[in-house]
């Protein structure tokens, strides 16, 4: 299995921000994440075609709505507070943004727990997705204080 040193937080960020109009690629040599948006930058189309044929780059998957719902359901199931659980269940059922529902809470720690949980699950998903394709993602060690804070 090919090992690729990465900052998981960077991959999660790219995955979370994926859209039908843009593409993110992982450089399998350096672990860098590259962003391309052919709709805004037509010259990106040619680069994407080359990257799709390269063995040194892999296109990141797009964030799937069903995965997002599954992770939200898991988080709700893990929530101990009945009031918060009910609020989040109603938000999910009504397809209201979790962010909006969480912003209405006075307890900021619930929001923090949600974002930590969501990022961890996205990271787990990406690790498994790459593993299925013969790539093992290995967390790069931080090189200085600024790097340490990038995962926050």
Decide if pLDDT at 62 tops 60: yes
For residue 24, the cross-strand partners are 35
Q: Mean pLDDT throughout 136-140?
A: 94
Q: What is the DSSP letter of 55?
A: S
Domain extents in the chain? 2-61+131-151, 65-122
Tens of pLDDT, residue by residue over 6-15, are 999 999 999 9
| Residue closest to 126 by CA, chosen among 48, 55, 71 | 71
Which of the pair, 46 or 53, is modelled with greater confidence? Answer: 53
Tens of pLDDT, residue by residue over 75-129, are 999 999 999 999 899 888 887 777 788 888 877 888 899 999 999 999 999 999 9
- Asked whether the CA dihedral 137, 139, 140, 145 is positive or negative, the reply is positive
């Amino acid at each position: 299995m090919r090992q690729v040193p990465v900052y998981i937080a960077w991959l999660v960020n790219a995955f979370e921000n994926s859209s039908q109009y843009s593409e993110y690629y992982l450089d399998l040599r350096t672990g860098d994440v590259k962003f391309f948006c052919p709709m805004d930058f037509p010259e990106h189309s040619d680069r994407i075609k080359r990257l799709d044929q390269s063995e040194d780059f892999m296109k990141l998957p797009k964030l799937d709505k069903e995965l997002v719902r599954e992770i939200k359901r898991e988080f709700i199931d893990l929530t101990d507070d009945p009031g918060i659980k009910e609020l989040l269940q109603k938000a999910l059922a009504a397809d209201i943004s979790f962010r909006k529902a969480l912003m209405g809470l006075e307890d900021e720690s619930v929001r923090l727990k949600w974002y930590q949980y969501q990022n961890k699950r996205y990271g787990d998903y990406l690790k498994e997705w790459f593993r299925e394709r013969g790539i093992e993602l290995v967390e790069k060690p931080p090189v200085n204080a600024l790097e340490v804070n990038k995962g926050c």
